[in-house]
Structure 1
Amino acid sequence: MTTMTMTATPVRPRLVTRPLMLLSAADFLGLTSFYALLSVVPAYVSGGVGAGLATGTLMLTTVAAELALPRLVARFGYRAVLAAGLLLLGLPALALPFSAGLPMVLAVCVLRGAGLAAIFVVCGAWGAELVPAQRRGEGLGLLGVVAGVPAIVGMPAGLWLATQVGFDAVFVAGAVLALLGLAALPTLPGGTGQGDATGVVAALRTPALVRPSIVFAGAAMLSGIVATFLPQALPHTGEGFVAIALLVHAVTGTAARWWAGVFGDRHGAHRLLVPGVVTGAAGLAVLVVTTHPVAVLIGMAVFGAGFGTVQNASMAVLLQATSPSRYGVVTALWSVAYDTGFGAGALGFGLLATTTGYPVGFAAAAALSVAALVVLRRVR
């Protein structure tokens, strides 16, 4: 008679919980409001410099707000800061139907930028606390899907609605979506935040945090260019094709964020940073051939895959380099890298493209993002 010894298989902790679902709902609605207006507002302003100023103001204001958010979260908690963010993201959009003038649009962008900062930082940090550490990469991938679906739906739907019904309908819809996110907050448990109020500037003195942030900022620069200027760069294709191209970019980006999370849990997220940047730059370089619709779709698919990979991997690397008490600071740093790159890309490309044209501008931006890898080596 033999005795068989059985080894118990470790039970994987549950990933999807009620608190995570409630937070994801607020995140989804807030980001859908953001993405619905992201490509519509530049078209509403009309003009390369005005479009670049609108997106640049939105994102650079977001950066300024993110610098203060770790201290605000430490003082008021996640729930209060997220509620304020949803209000700032929603209510100002209702002012846009009254004027298409640049002063009004920029004022709205300033307020919405502050709201967007709260969405990015709070949902990222709170979400990182709600997922088990053993499945962090996969959890970040899931949160990435929640954040990616609004881009899939919001940007194409916003452009379509603007052309079919008018700009005012998009602005009202964006406001309503953000305000609906408030409904998820009263029953969301916790939300007090953690007490480390050290600022983002202090985090910049830590090389392990600076390195992936530089990589991510370079990738985000290209995303700002695509989101702002793709409709203007493809006037001959029509709004329907632009919506499809943005949809392709969003779908591949969302899928890549999920895949990068699973891969990162098994093999290490740091292995994905450089390949993701190179892939994204290659996709943007394809957009030089803007007269060929098939090439544009291929370029958007490749760019989305590269950018989605860098999004997940950079956040995972940052979280691994710090403690849970500093998740708010790290998430703010990641968001600052995203918004700085996104806003600077939109603003700089708007000035460049008026002189060089869009194809040359796309090629130059792709080369610049790859050049950021040289800076990365110096930081090391």
Structure 2
Amino acid sequence: MQKSKLWTKDFLAVSLTSFFVFVIFYMLTVTLPLFATDELHASKQSLGLIVTIFLVSGIVFRPLAGKWMTTLGQKKVLLIGVFIFLIGSILYMNIHSLSALLLLRVLHGIGFGMSTTATGAIVANVIPEQRKGEGMGYYATFMNLAMVVGPFVGLTLTNTLGHTAVFTVAVVSSVLAVLCSLVLRVPEVQASSATNEIQPAKGLAAFFEYRSLPISVAGLVVAFSYASVISFVSIYAKEMGFTQASSFFFVVYAVCLLASRPFTGKWFDQYGENSVVYPSILSLAIGIFLLSQATTSWVFLLAGALIGLGFGTITSSFQSIAVKKASPHRRGVATATFFVFFDSGMGLGSFLLGILSTAAGYKGMYVFCSIVALLAIAAYLVLHGRKSQKQRIISQNESLGK
């Protein structure tokens, strides 16, 4: 039987929309702390709020966006989200105080929460049913690339042309996200037919996919530890004298992530989730610990390699598990559920670790976060890994029986 086409105009449009939005998110996450200290003279304690407030507003609007998509339609919610995101990107040009920056982060977070929730729901509809796992893997790769391109471009521009250049790129990327959204054709008919056949969820079930909650909670723990990297690595690098190396930190991150993707994807399918997740979390923990011990650029970049190998694989694996747990018509809600918890971990981590870094320094903070990353192994084992292993053994026994 011939495979249904995956790389359609609509799949590319929704994937690129997600890419451009996440590029801005990661670019501003690593550069705004520098902007706040250099231009707004913000205190170290307040730096975590820059990420936390953004993510909190996104977290609040994610489940609302999921609900609105059932009434307004997925494309309308996406367009509203990306236009709000564009307005927020433009307004960074005129920020002159920390309070104004924090207020803008609320608005920008709303656009981020709405647009990324919509893209997660839409992509589940545009991917052919028989290629769902493959398609979600490629879609996750677009986000992984944004996780690399954003910080690299942001830190390179900050170190060479200044903060205004960063905000200009944010506006251009926002415009590209809007254009990709406009050309996207969303198969609303599929969504409505599914709604007619299946009783709509009520109460909290309309906003959250309960079957995806365990892996989402494990994702929260991982995201908490990773918040130390995405929120503070640029400040830490500057403090340690690794300013030039900081730009290449995410290049090394990207190379290791992309080089490992074909192997980790095959292992995930052939040997099960656990064979990929446990080594990936361990790689993340070791990488964060190396950050705390870095005295040379070489060790600093090695940490980036291990973190990229670990965290990049974990996020795509966890999201795939969350989507796989849900019924076909609930995949968008499952994606929203995962990112609510994931963003909560990032936001909580950015806020609390900002306080911890003031008391213990960045080195002490990274030691603590390496321990949290190790605890994520236990969290995954209890919440999902043990059950996944049992199911795999049962499946193997059934296959041998046949």
Tell me whether 1:327 sits opposite 2:331 in the alignment.
yes
Match of 1:280 among 274, 280, 284: 284
* Separation in structure 2 between the aligned mates of residue 123 and residue 253 of structure 1, nearest angstrom: 23
TM-score (norm. length: structure 2): 0.84
Stretches of structure 1 that go unaligned for 5 or more consecutive residues are: 1-9
Q: For residue 116 of structure 1, what is the amino acid of its counterpart?
A: F
Contact 1:141 1:262 (C-alpha < 8 Å) held by counterparts:
no
Which residue does 2:229 correspond to in 1?
Answer: 226
* Separation in structure 1 between the aligned mates of residue 202 and residue 98 of structure 2, nearest angstrom: 36
* Separation in structure 2 between the aligned mates of residue 259 and residue 72 of structure 1, nearest angstrom: 39
Q: Give the C-alpha shift of residue 351 in structure 1.
A: 0.5
* Separation in structure 1 between the aligned mates of residue 290 and residue 65 of structure 2, nearest angstrom: 38
Gap change, CA 1:229 and 1:92, over 3 Å in 2: same
Which residue does 1:210 correspond to in 2?
Answer: 213
Q: Give the C-alpha shift of residue 180 in structure 1.
A: 2.4
Q: Give the C-alpha shift of residue 350 in structure 1.
A: 0.7
* Separation in structure 1 between the aligned mates of residue 358 and residue 90 of structure 2, nearest angstrom: 31
Gap change, CA 1:255 and 1:341, over 3 Å in 2: farther
Aligned-residue RMSD, C-alpha: 2.4
* Separation in structure 2 between the aligned mates of residue 200 and residue 262 of structure 1, nearest angstrom: 36
Moved more, 231-240 or 350-359: 231-240
Stretches of structure 2 that go unaligned for 5 or more consecutive residues are: 38-42, 385-402
Match of 2:55 among 38, 56, 59: 59
* Separation in structure 2 between the aligned mates of residue 186 and residue 372 of structure 1, nearest angstrom: 40
Aligned sequence identity (%): 24
Gap change, CA 1:82 and 1:202, over 3 Å in 2: closer
Pairs within 5 Å for 1:288-299: 288-299=292-303
Which residue does 1:20 correspond to in 2?
Answer: 11
* Separation in structure 1 between the aligned mates of residue 204 and residue 182 of structure 2, nearest angstrom: 29
Q: Give the C-alpha shift of residue 11 in structure 1.
A: 3.5
Tell me whether 1:40 sits opposite 2:44 in the alignment.
no
Tell me whether 1:74 sits opposite 2:70 in the alignment.
yes
Gap change, CA 1:257 and 1:203, over 3 Å in 2: farther
Match of 2:135 among 118, 128, 139: 139
| C-alpha distance after superposition, 1:265-285 (max 9, x if no partner) | 344335433332222112111
* Separation in structure 1 between the aligned mates of residue 162 and residue 203 of structure 2, nearest angstrom: 42
Pairs within 5 Å for 1:127-206: 127-192=123-188, 193=191, 195=195, 196=200, 206=210
Match of 1:243 among 242, 247, 250: 247
Contact 2:31 2:234 (C-alpha < 8 Å) held by counterparts:
no
* Separation in structure 2 between the aligned mates of residue 203 and residue 320 of structure 1, nearest angstrom: 17
Count of residue pairs brought into register by the alignment:
370
Q: Give the C-alpha shift of residue 358 in structure 1.
A: 1.1
Contact 1:250 1:304 (C-alpha < 8 Å) held by counterparts:
yes
Which residue does 2:388 correspond to in 1?
Answer: none
* Separation in structure 1 between the aligned mates of residue 133 and residue 283 of structure 2, nearest angstrom: 20
Q: Give the C-alpha shift of residue 50 in structure 1.
A: 2.2
Q: Give the C-alpha shift of residue 109 in structure 1.
A: 1.0
Pairs within 5 Å for 1:75-94: 75-94=71-90
SS of 1:190's equivalent in the other structure is coil
* Separation in structure 2 between the aligned mates of residue 11 and residue 312 of structure 1, nearest angstrom: 27
SS of 1:336's equivalent in the other structure is helix
Contact 2:23 2:149 (C-alpha < 8 Å) held by counterparts:
yes
